[in-house]
Structure 1
Amino acid sequence: MPTFGAYRAWALLAATLVALPAAGTAAAQGAPPPGAEGCAGCHPPAPMAGAPPPLRTVPPEDIAAAMLAFRGGARPATVMDRIAKGFTDEEIRAIAAWAGRRP
């Protein structure tokens, strides 16, 4: 008769095997960097009248340049200047790379 430890080992193995496909999918899709998911609050997935552009249609280098310009005050903004001030150069590049490659 199997021991409790053997049951626990099998349960751990089964849980690991179930979790692996989900982890692989998330890694392949690229988890958003901190702060990136907030962009969807204003930037729609498809063009909409009166809304900011969908970020997936903007090259990552243009996203980064715009955020740096907002942060430095070189580009006029309603709220993006304040939002961009909350990110470092590295965070801005990570957000731009992630947003610019979204499907």
Structure 2
Amino acid sequence: MRLSLSLFGPFQASLEGKNLKINSRRSQAMLAMLVLAPKATIARDRLAATLWPDRAEVQARASLRQELSSLRRTLGAEADIVKGDAACIWIDRDAVCRNYGAPG
């Protein structure tokens, strides 16, 4: 399986060549942050605070769980490329096609 993201210009995502409709800017940001993170792993607290800076920690973490669930529904059968435990969320880097160059 291969997840491709385009972060230059409008956000675009495809899975095995099929376009994914990820409308939520927070889901888009979460995927981008995970792909760009040095070890493809981010602490839940950091991710929640970044995506919901105006919310209390408990509310932000609850929102993160909901957003993660929504993202996994969008990914469908390939949802297991985004994994997590009580402390961190990570992405299977082997499943992600990374091209850091600008398009064109």
Q: Which has the higher contact order (CA 8 A, sep 6+)?
A: 2
Structure ranking higher in strand proportion: 2
TM-score range, shorter chain: under 0.3
Q: TM-score, normalised by structure 2?
A: 0.27
Structure ranking higher in helix proportion: 1
- Larger Rg computed on CA atoms: 1
